[in-house]
Structure 1
Amino acid sequence: MDYTKNAEFIEIDGGYLEGGGQAVRNALSLSCILKRPVRIINIRANRPNPGLSHQHVHGVNLLRNITKARVTGNHMHSTVVEFTPQTLISDTYKVDTRTAASITLIYQVALPVLLFGNKPSRLDVIGGTNVSFAPQIEYMQHVVEPNLKHFGISFELKVLQYGFYPRGNGRSVLDIEPLSSLKSVQLTDFGRLKSVVGWSYCSGRLPKSISLDMQQTAQREMHRLWPENECNIQAFKLSPEKARDNGAGIVLSASTSSGCVVGAAALGDKNIDGHVLGSDASCELASYIKSEVCIDGHLQDQLIIYMALASGRSIIKTSAVTKHTRTAMYVAETMTGVKFETTYDESGQALISCDGIGHSSSFM
């Protein structure tokens, strides 16, 4: 449906619940997809530095370019943005954040939009590949991608260089295939655990022993709990050509017999202890496996926009519903008119469901 003839803005409260960038990203994505003008107020009202940050400004401007939108408030620290999309142009888009702004969060805002284009698109982004308060790039490759496949979504993500806080300098390329509509999903059957894989890395002046410490601690925990299951965690030090600065982290992914993929991760900060990072990530992953959730706590909010747009009824079994997810539901309900329901099964796990609007591409 095209709402461009109705110039009234839908108003989204950017300070709702989580009060971070989630409301901005989802509201702008849905504005572009549905061609519905949106006004976002109280942006990041609950943060120490309210308003748009570098990452959010780049996201707004990227969507402005993709949809030739009329925009006001697209500047640093702005607490109000008005966005009126005009069209949708599939193309190659390049973004250089010149900071360690999260590449994956920039992808989050543009991926849903470019899915409904008329031809394949490419997003070439420079910034932070593995930074705090954002999904690590390996998580997007190995957890987000297989879960989005259930909706019929196809993309390929290549990392050219890794970038860490504070300088960034990472670069990756996301190739997106267009589709006509999204399939609904029913991700409620965990099945049985098949295998755990992982990536334990460090770079710069940090010794490879940190990667090995993360790997060994995580593998030890997995083997202790599930000795019969395969656990293969790669430990490596990134070459200077791949990463110029210091960085360390671990990303784990568990696959099940029913096609579920859940993930967990940990990222090094100033005082890096590989054993602690490996323990943090493996204990989190173990909690998901033990409770047999199909969607982990970091992914649930990212699926809300796709559930709202899909054709038919979607339902996912996940862990405790986060504020990020409740914020995403609020935005999706306000923008699309869908209604999300949250119930709990006999084991106490959350079941999130909705009847999607069945949005279809105007190009197919």
Structure 2
Amino acid sequence: MKLIQLNGQSGGGQMLRTALSLAMVTGQPFRMTHIRGQRSKPGLMRQHLTCVKAAVEISQGTADGAELGSTELVFRAGEIQSGDYEFAIGTAGSTTLLLQTLLPALWTAKGKSTLRLSGGTHNPLAPPFDFVEQVFLPAMKKFGAEATIRLVETGFAPTGGGILEAGISPTAGLGKVNFTEQGELQATSLRVISRQVSDSVASRLMDAVGKAWTCEKRKIEHRDEGPGQGLIGYAEAHFANGCEMVSGCGERGQSAEKIGHRMGKSMATFMNTRAAVGRHLADQLLLPMALAGGGEITTTAPDAHVPTNVSIIEKFLPVKFSIEDEDGGLFRISC
């Protein structure tokens, strides 16, 4: 079968993860060159390499160029095998991004599967565990795809050491779903999860969120002693048709006030536009929409991941996306 030619120069690891998912589901091989070409450290990092090796194992496939730092990869998938799998990233790289890479393939398997993934579970540049559990997976259930996840150990960046477990049930196929109406607001809350970080830091973060967005409940949750200290805040809004969750991770050089302000502003923008899904979920729904054969979502201003993700999807599947600016900060993405 002819290789699909992909250029990863303009994007990051998401382009590779989307290509791996689609190659496993469709059986079409690909060659990606200039992987993460514009990053300060181009090529495959450990978290990307783990995704490749996991895809090889689950699909009984092959990967040429599967080495740290490699900027070119040729991947060929075989037949998807259900089973019990365990993958360790070896750093604080995101376990949730690894999970999202493998889910589309395991949903097409003939039997149930389990995953035990170790690495980071609460990362600044990836969907944290709580987002996947409370926002992403409920959205996927509407497509007809089900999975459950359990947090065994919290792994904050940069230490990692986190563990999540997942159970995946096969599905006969994804159904078309439209996410266009926000629905009536039912509840709002603000949580901060911390380990070995002063409550004063969490309080400062929550106070900063409150200056841009008000909510009903505030809570600080403490994690038991574990691998490394860390902190993450969640601003949550539950609607009749779904949930939006904006997160902010504690990072070196980032004040609690700055993180909280960014969170509050993002949530206020989302609620003011009356979008059905947040910008991060919107990016994550592109692939299932395409696999379902169509769909429509309303969201806030899409981030840079959307056009690069779309460019990969349209190479593998006979679909076309459109992105329309409907004014007032609301965008409509159709497949």
Residue 320 of structure 1: which of 273, 286, 301 is its match?
A: 301
Equivalent residue for 2:104? Answer: 112
Equivalent residue for 1:29? Answer: 21
Residue 207 (structure 1) shift:
1.5
Deviations 1:170-211 (A, max 9, x none): 11112112111111111111223221234311113x223323
Alignment of 1:226-265 (within 5 A): 231-240=216-225, 243-257=226-240, 259-265=241-247
Equivalent residue for 2:156? Answer: 164
Q: State the alpha-carbon separation in 2 of the partners of residues 94 and 50 from structure 1.
A: 27
Deviations 1:290-338 (A, max 9, x none): 1111111112111111011004x30000111222011111111011121
Residue 74 (structure 1) shift:
0.7
Do 1:208 and 1:237's aligned partners in 2 also have CA atoms closer than 8 Å?
no
Which secondary structure does the structure 2 equivalent of 1:150 belong to? helix
Alignment of 1:218-297 (within 5 A): 218=209, 221-223=212-214, 231-240=216-225, 243-257=226-240, 259-271=241-253, 273-297=255-279
Do 1:211 and 1:236's aligned partners in 2 also have CA atoms closer than 8 Å?
no
Residue 49 of structure 1: which of 41, 48, 58 is its match?
A: 41
Equivalent residue for 1:128? Answer: 120
Q: State the alpha-carbon separation in 2 of the partners of residues 194 and 107 from structure 1.
A: 29
Residue 346 (structure 1) shift:
5.1
Which secondary structure does the structure 1 equivalent of 2:270 belong to? helix
Q: State the alpha-carbon separation in 2 of the partners of residues 208 and 261 from structure 1.
A: 27
TM-score, with length taken from structure 2: 0.94
Identity %: 27
Residue 13 of structure 1: which of 3, 7, 25 is its match?
A: 7
Do 2:160 and 2:227's aligned partners in 1 also have CA atoms closer than 8 Å?
no
Residue 286 of structure 2: which of 304, 318, 322 is its match?
A: 304
Which secondary structure does the structure 2 equivalent of 1:33 belong to? helix
Equivalent residue for 1:76? Answer: 68
Q: Which runs of 5+ in 2 are unaligned?
A: none
2:331 corresponds to 1:350? yes
Residue 211 of structure 1: which of 202, 220, 225 is its match?
A: 202
Which secondary structure does the structure 1 equivalent of 2:157 belong to? coil
2:259 alignment partner AA? L
1:164 alignment partner AA? F
How many residues align structurally? Answer: 335
Residue 347 (structure 1) shift:
3.8
Rate the CA distance shift 1:177–1:197 in 2: closer, same or farther, 3 A. Answer: farther
**Alpha-carbon RMSD:** 1.7
Deviations 1:59-113 (A, max 9, x none): 0000000011021011101111111111000111111122111111111211111
Q: State the alpha-carbon separation in 1 of the partners of residues 185 and 332 from structure 2.
A: 20
Q: State the alpha-carbon separation in 2 of the partners of residues 79 and 14 from structure 1.
A: 9
Residue 219 (structure 1) shift:
5.1
Q: State the alpha-carbon separation in 2 of the partners of residues 176 and 234 from structure 1.
A: 31
1:11 alignment partner AA? Q
Q: Which runs of 5+ in 1 are unaligned?
A: 1-6, 224-229, 355-364
Q: State the alpha-carbon separation in 2 of the partners of residues 233 and 330 from structure 1.
A: 40
Which secondary structure does the structure 2 equivalent of 1:249 belong to? strand
Do 1:142 and 1:253's aligned partners in 2 also have CA atoms closer than 8 Å?
no
Q: State the alpha-carbon separation in 2 of the partners of residues 152 and 28 from structure 1.
A: 21
Rate the CA distance shift 1:93–1:79 in 2: closer, same or farther, 3 A. Answer: same
Which secondary structure does the structure 1 equivalent of 2:311 belong to? helix
Which secondary structure does the structure 1 equivalent of 2:297 belong to? strand
Equivalent residue for 1:175? Answer: 167
Which secondary structure does the structure 2 equivalent of 1:119 belong to? coil
Which secondary structure does the structure 2 equivalent of 1:78 belong to? coil
1:246 alignment partner AA? Q
Q: State the alpha-carbon separation in 2 of the partners of residues 120 and 222 from structure 1.
A: 42
Residue 263 (structure 1) shift:
2.0
2:182 corresponds to 1:190? yes
